[in-house]
Amino acid sequence: MNEETIRLLLQKIKQQDLSIEEGVERLKILPFEDLGFAKVDYHRNLRQGFAEVIYCAGKTAEQVVAIAEKLSAQGGGNILATRATPEVYAAVLERIPDAEYHSLARTIMIRRGKQEKIGNILVLSAGTSDLPVAEEAAITAEMMGNHVERVYDTGVAGIHRLLSQTEKLRYARVIIVVAGMEGALASVVGGLVDRPVIAVPTSVGYGASFGGLAALLAMLNSCASGVSVVNIDNGFGAGYQASLINHLGEN
């Protein structure tokens, strides 16, 4: 639509309905409005299967429902709502009957159209308590068109559980490592593979874990190359980044 605005302006110039000076004035303001939509169009319209995302924390159920309905009405790709409470899901469900909910990951999923999935993102988590974050990462990646393999409960204190997953490590294109406490899993995995590892520290732990700080620092100081880190408990961010990486092969 915005290109249309520029086109109309240029036509008015051409048809001498607008003076050149007026055109210059309008164009000095205009481009700022352009900019963003260019980006939005780019990734929304050109790439199939890309999900819209609603971050529910700090939004009312009404707000989430309104956004979800609007996105749903646009007829685009999948819609994903993260950090959604059961109450928010109940409200969404009333208006969008095919909305699904994953209570552990606290995500609402509204699947739309046929989406081709490419592979293969592996989500590893260290302990049972890391599951909500791991699932948020996994579901995010799935909703954005990726095959996701999950391998949970592979903490470094039982290194054999990790090592027994060699095949899965080998076939993954991108690996998401979710770990709290000392976050050592990221380094061990980073040393085993030549694939990008996205590390997600979790706030799982107590005492000197300081809400995930211990795992965060450990992951940032990983002695293994090929590890980068997202915020504490940011499963969505890891899934999103992994999807961007995984889709690079396509273009």
**Residues numbered 202-221 forming contacts with a second copy, rule: CB under 8 A:** 203-221
- Asked if 191 touches a second copy (CB under 8 A), the answer is yes
User: Based on CB atoms, which residue is closest to a second copy, 86 or 98?
Assistant: 86
- Binding positions for a second copy, 127-186, rule CB under 8 A: 127-129, 155-161, 163-167, 173-174, 181-184, 186
If one asks whether residue 104 binds a second copy (CB under 8 A), the answer comes out as: no
Distance CA 38, CA 58 (A): 28
Q: Is the dihedral of CA 32, 34, 37, 42 positive or negative?
A: negative
Cα–Cα distances in Å, from 189 out to 50, 59, 90, 162, 206?
28, 37, 39, 8, 24
Pick 72 or 222: Cβ nearer a second copy = 222
Stretch that binds a second copy, among 88-96, 107-115, 145-153, 230-238 (CB under 8 A): 230-238
73 interacts with a second copy by CB under 8 A = no
Could you say which of 39, 86, 104, 113 contacts a second copy (CB under 8 A)? 39
The yes or no reply on residue 70 touching a second copy (CB under 8 A) is: no
Q: Is 77 in the site for a second copy (CB under 8 A)?
A: no
- The minimum distance between CB 109 and a second copy, in angstroms, equals 17
Is residue 187 within the footprint of a second copy (CB under 8 A)? yes
Cβ proximity to a second copy, 98 vs 164, nearer residue:
164
Given the structure tokens 């027994």, which residue do they identify?
Answer: 164
Tokens of 107: 């995500």
- H-helix segments, the chain: 2-14, 20-29, 31-45, 61-73, 86-95, 131-143, 159-163, 166-171, 185-192, 213-220, 235-246
Residue 82: which H helix or E strand, with range? Answer: strand 79-82
Q: Which of 61, 96, 118, 245 binds a second copy (CB under 8 A)?
A: 245
Please report where in the chains the tokens 């899934």 appear, as a residue.
239
24 binds a second copy (CB under 8 A): yes
The span from the CA of 181 to the CA of 160, in Å, is 19
Contact, 217 vs 194, CB < 8 A?
no
66 lies in the site for a second copy, by CB under 8 A: no
Among 1, 28, 75, 97, binds a second copy (CB under 8 A): 28
